[in-house]
Structures are given as structure tokens and as C-alpha cells.
Amino acid sequence: MTATHTLHTERLSLAYGERTVVDNLDLTIPTGQITTIVGANACGKSTLLRAMSRLMAPTSGHVVLDGKELHRLPTKDVARTLGLLPQSPIAPEGIAVADLVGRGRHPHQKVFARWSAEDEAAVLAALDATDTVALADRAVDELSGGQRQRVWIAMALAQQTDLLFLDEPTTFLDVSHQIEVLDLLTDLNRQRGTTIVMVLHDLNLAARYADHLIAVAEGRLHAAGHPADVLTEATVREVFGLESQVMIDPTSGKPMMLPIGRHHARANDVTPIS
Amino acid sequence: MSVDVLAAGRTRRAVRRRGALATLVVLVVATFVVTLMVGQTFYPPGDVLRVIAGQTVPGASFTVGELRLPRAVLGVLAGVAFALGGVTFQTMLRNPLASPDIIGITHGASAAAVFAITVLAVSGAVISLVAVVAALATAMLIYVLSFKDGVVGTRLILIGIGIAAMLQSVVSYLLVRAATWDLPAAMRWITGSLNGATWSEVVTLSVAVAAFGALLLSHSRRLDLLQLGDDAASALGVRVERTRVTVIIAAVGLIAFATAATGPIAFVAFLSGPIAARLVGPTGSLLVPAALVGALLVLVADLAGQFAFGSRYPVGVVTGVLGAPYLVYLLIRTNRAGGSL
């Protein structure tokens, strides 16, 4: 797999019915890098991810994949290039891990085609990459939250796409599982050059794991670029309406945000609220 | 090593599935033959097989060939059609309660047929046509009423149950008003029955089963992917809305034609999928296993209805007795699980 696919949006606007959620947005996803999208609740970040993965048609503007308009490309072709793990996918009752991961092979299969050696190899590679080989025979509904999330990622990996989008892949996971999932995605990016785009809630994890950080506020692009340039006290104030201190994360050297609430701040450290 | 582990698990699941499918096929064939043998006159299997092979056997040729054979074949076809229609809805909406005989689609066919008989005074193929159109119209109505940013299972089920109740009261009203001589014909549209099965009904239903069944089978993997949720399915390259509309048309078509041929045989659509799921385990499509279970249910219930009791009951009465406890069980289970469907 060579990650040579390009994706950008041109004056993209998205709406649910009358309500405009994303307005006139231009952004470019850097190929072969990890991009994280952050923003307040209901700012349109998940909607943006859905539109960039062809789940939602723009009201105006375009999403452009490899120079072609995404929404005019055949669904199955797109699904061989671009995978998406939605926020809350549903596992059929009792399904075995190997069978669920096998469903990721659908875009590569013809209507009545039988299961091929290639499919088997892809499933095995996906289980291996997510460290879930030992779970292959278990029922998905018996697994812990962290294991289940790794299995869903394995399903997306079995799809063997060069672009992988994830909508809040760490939600509902405890902190060690969050790190585990993000480390796994970083491995994928470094070892295979998979372009990864994800929506994350946790600003500090978003900044740490991103090569490219996109901050969205009220459906508009607020800032995009290297995390050190994007995650600033001004950005946090303008995007989240929150006063904060941004400092260097001693572990990663990336920026790190500490919120300042109305309580608990020592007087001399408080940045005056303007 | 790990390739073997993967293959071994898949083989184990496949073996269970194949075993269950083979058992079902044997049971369906055996019940089918028994259905042809027993009746007022008993014919040994040899006579029955010769009639099926097209030879002339005195007595048996008429009784088996013209009376019992169309009845049994119609039973199989209706069982397959109801089961496929039911399991499609249950899979698509991820809910065993989402069966067409719970959410009002068969009720639409019944109500329209009873209306046609008692008010319009039509008969024969016209009634069937009216029933098919009404089933499709009811399905469309339920779909439209429950459509809001896509179709959500629970909303569709609740609206469907409401529509079913309304249509049932329409049927009751029509029956109260109906002329006495119309009642026997109308009753068939309330309780499914294989009585008076003819070869022409068999031909019509077999064409419908072949056409809609093939359409469903060609969509079986996409139908299974819909279970992952709309976003996940569409990310895997499934055109969600189009797939959904296609399988709904196929499923409603099957239900409508089966209802037109036999009347609504209670709970076959509702029971076949869950029974099949228990038998084959959670792997692969449920379409074929459910179809076999449906055929078996109808054949066994019809045999029981004819011979197990002092008087003869239509097949729908027997399946109704089988299905009702399961419905109660599901409702209790859902209630315990926290009240949502």
C-alpha cells in the first residue's frame, strides 16, 4: 500500500435539513499523516468527517478525492480507498470476532464470490495488527470495551484502505485503553503510511497524537496546522470559550492545555478573564 | 499457527451451520412426504413417489396428485415466502418484533381482501391482486410515517403495531356488517389456511418466490452489513437507502403473494428467523435457514391441524398457538431489559 491519495474540501457546506452545520469550509488532509479534528460539541466535526467519507452529501461545495469529486465516485470504489469507523457501530448478536472483522472485506468481494485466501490473509493481518488474534473465536458481545474497540478497528483495517477515518475512537474507553488505541493508530500510520483522520474529544491527546491539528468552531475552520501552532490559549478561548494555560507537555514536547475553571486556581496563576 | 486457528474457528462454525441446514432439509422432505401419505386414505411412500414421478396410480393419482400435492407444495412455498419476508425485516431492523405479521403488513392484505369480498363482492384473482397492492401500500405508509432522518427500528415497529391494530378493527367492522354467505371466504383472509389449494395458486406463488427470493439472496451480504448500522454499512461500500428499499420491496412482495395464496398464516414470518438463528448459530446469512424453518413450520402445523385434534383446524390456528407464547416471551424480555424495544 502506498499512501498517495489526496483529499481536500472546497467551499464545503453541510446541513441537516434547514440547519447549516458546516459552512464554506476549505481544508486539506495531509497525505500519510495523522490529522485530528477538535471542536466544541455540535460544532460540526463529526458531520465533517461523515461528509469527507461520503456518508453525507454536501449542500454546496465539494469533497475532492484524488482530483475527483467524492460524491460522484462509486460507493464500492470509495470503500476500497477510504475506511470509516463510525462513533457507535452495532455488532450483530453473538457474532464471532473473526466474522465481524471479515465484514470489512465487503468492498473487495463480488456479489456471490466465495471467501478467498486474500480475504483470509487480510483478516489475519488486521487481527494481528490490533493484537486480537487470540480473540478471533470469541463473541464480540462478550468482550470488554477496549477489546471491542480494537476489534472494530480491525474490521476497518481488513478493508485495507489508505485513508482511515475514525469518529471519536476513544470514547467510552478508560485512559489506558485510550492510549492503547491511539498508539495502535500511530503504528499503522508509521508502518504503512496510512493517512489517519480522527475526531477526538480530549484536546491534549489530540495535540499529542496529531501531525496536523484542525480546530473547528461553529462549522467554520478556526485553525489548522502543526499542533504547536494551533493549540494556543487563544484557540482554546475562541473555540471552546474556556480560559486555559497552554504549556509544553514534558513527555512529548507537544503543547498541553490545562483548563482554568472558576475554582481551584491559585490567585497568582490566574490569567485575567477579559 | 494463527492462520490455522482462524480457519479452524471458521470451519467449526460452518460445520454447525451445514449440519443444521442438512437436518432441516431432511425434516422438510420427510414431512412433505408424510403429508402426501396420510389423509382419509393412507398411501405408502412408494405410491406417493410414483405419483410425484408422473406415473398413474389408481386412486392415488387423484387424491395425492390433485388434492394433497398442491396443498403440500403451497404450504412449502408459503412457509418459505413468509419466513424470508419476516427474517429480512427482522435482520434489517435488528429486532425480532419487526416482523411483517406484527407491524401490520399482512394485516393490510387481510383487511383489503375482506373489504373486496364483503363490500366490493369480487372473487378469485382480483382479491389476490387487491391484497398484494394493499400490503405494498401498508408497507409504504409505515415507512413514510416512521421516516425521519432515516428509518429507526423502534419507531417503525411501534407505528406498525398501531397500524396493525387499526387494520384489525377495520376487519372486525367489515365482518360484523358482512352478509352471512361471504363469511367463509372472508375467514380465510383472517386465519391462514391451505384448504382448497390449487395448482394455479401454486404456480403464481412459485413465480413470486423465485423472483423475490433471488432478489433477496443477491442482497444477502448487504442485508447483513446493514446490521452494523447505516454509517458502518455505507463506509463498507453499501448503498444503504437503495439496499433497504430493494429488500423491503422483495420482502413485502413475498409476504403479499403468500398472503394472497393462503391468507395470513400467523407468526410464520415472526418465528422462522429466530428459530433458524438458534439452529445455525451466529454465522452467515439467515435467509436460507429461515426459509427451511418456515416451510417446516407450515407443513408440521398443517399436519397437526388436520389430524392431531378431534376436528380439523386451519394451519393458521396452529401456528398462532405456537407463536403467541414466543411473542409474550419477547415482550417480557424487552420489558426486563429496560423498556425499550
How far is B17 from chain A, CA to nearest CA, in Å? 14
pLDDT of B149 above 70: no
Structure confidence at residue B339 as a pLDDT band (50, 70, 90): very low
Query: What is the rounded CA–CA span in Å between residue B59 and residue B47?
Result: 10
Please answer whether residues B80 and B51 qualify as being in contact, where contact means their C-beta atoms are separated by less than 8 angstroms.
no
Which of A91, A94, A159 is closest, CB to CB, to B236?
Answer: A159
Phi, psi of A14 (to 5 degrees): -130, 145
Structure confidence at residue B121 as a pLDDT band (50, 70, 90): confident
| Choices 1.10.620.20, 3.40.50.300, 3.40.190.10, 3.40.1440.60: CATH for A7-269 | 3.40.50.300
Q: What does the pLDDT read at residue B77? A: 97
Query: What is the rounded CA–CA span in Å between residue B158 and residue B341?
Result: 9
Q: What does the pLDDT read at residue B151? A: 61
Q: What does the pLDDT read at residue B341? A: 43
CA-wise closest residue to B40 among B60, B65, B70, B54:
B60
Beta bridge partners of A62: A10
Q: What is the ipTM for the molecules in this complex?
A: 0.86
Please answer whether residues B296 and A110 qualify as being in contact, where contact means their C-beta atoms are separated by less than 8 angstroms.
no
Asked if the structure places residue B189 within a domain, the reply is yes
Q: What does the pLDDT read at residue B336? A: 62
pLDDT of B1 above 70: no
Domain range for B252 is: 65-336
pLDDT of A1 above 50: no
Which of B3, B9, B237 is closest, CB to CB, to A79?
Answer: B237
Mean pLDDT of A241-269: 86
Model pLDDT for residues B47-73, shown as the tens digit of each residue: 888 888 888 888 888 888 888 999 999
Query: What is the rounded CA–CA span in Å between residue A100 and residue A195?
Result: 23
Name which of A16, A81, A90 to mutate to probe chain B: the one with the most chain B Cβ atoms within 10 A of its Cβ: A90
Name which of B149, B234, B240, B243 to mutate to probe chain A: the one with the most chain A Cβ atoms within 10 A of its Cβ: B234
Beta bridge partners of A197: A35, A165
pLDDT of A256 above 90: yes
Please answer whether residues B295 and B169 qualify as being in contact, where contact means their C-beta atoms are separated by less than 8 angstroms.
no
Task: Give B-chain residues touching A124 at CB under 8 angstroms.
Answer: 2-3, 6
Model pLDDT for residues A205-228, shown as the tens digit of each residue: 999 999 999 999 988 899 999 999
Query: Do residue A86 and residue B227 have CB atoms under 8 angstroms apart?
Result: no
| A22-26, A58-62, B157-161, B321-325: range with lowest mean pLDDT | B321-325
Which of A16, A89, A128 is closest, CB to CB, to B229?
Answer: A89
Asked if the structure places residue B154 within a domain, the reply is yes
CA-wise closest residue to A25 among A82, A65, A63:
A63
pLDDT of B310 above 60: yes
Of the spans A90-94, A169-173, B16-20, B195-199, which averages the highest pLDDT?
B16-20
Query: Do residue B228 and residue A90 have CB atoms under 8 angstroms apart?
Result: yes
Model pLDDT for residues A164-187, shown as the tens digit of each residue: 999 999 987 888 889 988 999 999
Residue linked to cell 360484523: B176
Task: Give A-chain residues touching B225 at CB under 8 angstroms.
Answer: 103, 106
Mean pLDDT of B318-336: 80
Q: How many domains does chain B have?
A: 1
Asked if the structure places residue B263 within a domain, the reply is yes
Query: Do residue B228 and residue A98 have CB atoms under 8 angstroms apart?
Result: no
Query: What is the rounded CA–CA span in Å between residue A62 and residue A134?
Result: 43
Which of A16, A75, A90 is closest, CB to CB, to B237?
Answer: A75
CA-wise closest residue to B241 among B250, B251, B231:
B231
Mean pLDDT of A106-116: 84
CATH code: domain of residue B170: 1.10.3470.10
Average pLDDT of every residue of chain A: 89
Which of A90, A94, A98 is closest, CB to CB, to B10?
Answer: A98
Query: Do residue A99 and residue B3 have CB atoms under 8 angstroms apart?
Result: no
Q: Higher-confidence residue: B94 or A101?
A: A101
Structure confidence at residue A34 as a pLDDT band (50, 70, 90): very high
Q: What does the pLDDT read at residue B27? A: 97
Structure confidence at residue A268 as a pLDDT band (50, 70, 90): low
CA-wise closest residue to B273 among B295, B293, B254:
B293
Average pLDDT of every residue of chain B: 88
Query: What is the rounded CA–CA span in Å between residue B36 and residue B57?
Result: 14
Q: What does the pLDDT read at residue A230? A: 93
Query: Do residue B3 and residue A124 have CB atoms under 8 angstroms apart?
Result: yes
* Pairing, β A220-225 against β A68-69: unpaired
Domain ranges of chain A: 7-269
CA-wise closest residue to B291 among B209, B221, B191:
B209
Mean pLDDT of A124-146: 90
Decide: residue B213, CB within 10 A, 0-12 exposed, 13-18 middle, 19+ buried: buried
CA-wise closest residue to B109 among B213, B255, B247:
B255
Task: Give A-chain residues touching B218 at CB under 8 angstroms.
Answer: 111-112
Return the CA Rg of chain B. Answer: 21
Q: What does the pLDDT read at residue B271? A: 92
- Interface A-B, measured as beta-carbon pairs within 8 A, has a size of 99
- What is the torsion angle, in degrees rounded to the nearest 10, for the CA atoms of residue A213, residue A215, residue A216 and residue A217? 180
Query: What is the rounded CA–CA span in Å between residue B252 and residue B244?
Result: 12
Task: Give A-chain residues touching B281 at CB under 8 angstroms.
Answer: 94
